[in-house]
Amino acid sequence: MPAPRGKRRMERLSQLLQVDPRQETAFSPGHNACPGCGSTTALRMVLNAVGDRAIYFVPASCASLYFTPSDTTTTRVPVIHTLFPGAFAEAEGMARALQLQGRDEKVVVWAGDGCCYDIALGSLSGAAARGANLLVICNDNEGYQNTGGHLSSATPPDAQTRTGRRGDQVPGITRRKDLVEIMAAHRVPYVATASVAYPEDLQSKVLKAREMEGFRMLLLLTPCVTWGFESRYSVKLARLAVETGYFPLYEVEGGRHYRITHEPAMLPLERFTRLQRRFNGGDLNALHEEIDEKWAELRFRSERSRRERVQRPAWVAA
């Protein structure tokens, strides 16, 4: 009797990622995350790709509940739980200390969008400007979700949160802050986006960033149940976020060289929004405009980068 379709698919995926589905992973069962949490799946992939020779800094976030508690230790790598504003400076100090001792451990910061976009943006910028030898993973679930779903500057236009709907009820800029472009403007070696629904793309970017020196950052979109969806739709939402153009998958090297790593099907945005209560009764026009503008800029920059690679003289390439 042939193997079930799901089992065959998992076997092909494990061969592609060069991971035995039965082998021990760096992230074990028994965590305190919510059922359907998108970030725990992403965290497992990141931990396995980075490897055991790493030290993680985790500022206050949802990861405080599923990554760091001593009573439910879920990882075999060292983890330092810290505060929002101090995480990047502390991690930079650790990276420098390891370098002075001739050690080769990677220093990784796993932080939420509340930390990276808002509370510690200045500290994040400082680490990037100084070329700190860090790999920063921004777990973007588009709000302060560990406190129940409050507004952050990563929250999309007209989405309902505990602090109101981003748009008419909350004054100020209604667009999502573009953190990738902010960090790319520092001309750091590597910035990229990734999604748990595309494990091959995620793993390749983590491996690429792992082998680099200097400041690197990955922005991970991870669906959160506070968005108001059934837990079984977590990965489906992550996939629809990409395929509707809501969350592009791309990378930027040296702050200038852009490459789109997945061409989406550009499905109707409503296929993504209708599965979540946070968009009920909302006006999607601002979100449509934001997506259209982002893709126009991204295609222009990636095409410019492609032309520069093609036209580069042979002596430069050498």
* 17 assigned to some structural domain: no
Give the range among 9-13, 38-42, 219-223, 247-251 with minimum mean pLDDT.
Answer: 9-13
CB contact at 8 A, 53 and 106: yes
Rounded CA Rg of the chain: 19
Phi, psi of 29 (to 5 degrees): -65, 165
Q: How confident is the model at residue 271 (pLDDT cuts 50, 70, 90)?
A: very high
Residue 15 counted as domain residue: no
**pLDDT recorded at residue 266:** 97
Alpha helices in the chain (DSSP H): 5-16, 38-50, 63-66, 87-100, 113, 121-129, 179-184, 199-210, 234-243, 270-273, 285-311, 314-317
- Structural domain count, the chain: 1
How far is Cα 219 from Cα 227, in angstroms, rounded to an integer?
Answer: 19
CATH of the domain at 92: 3.40.50.970
Structural domain of residue 233, as residue ranges?
A: 24-317
In a domain, 2, yes or no: no
Residue 230 lies in a domain: yes
pLDDT per residue over 114-145, tens digit each? 999 999 999 999 999 999 999 999 999 998 88
14 in a structural domain: no
Q: Is residue 100 part of a domain?
A: yes
| Average pLDDT over every residue of 267-274 | 96
Between 38-52, 56-70, 177-191, 269-283, the lowest mean confidence (pLDDT) is in 56-70
| Cα separation, 42 vs 27, whole angstroms | 10
Q: Find where tokens 């061969």 sit.
A: 15
How many distinct helices (H) and strands (E) make up the chain?
Answer: 12, 10
| 177 domain residue, yes or no | yes
Partners of residue 257 on adjacent β-strands: 253
Residue 56 lies in a domain: yes
CA-based angle 275:278:282, to the nearest 5?
100
Residue 218 has pLDDT above 70, yes or no: yes
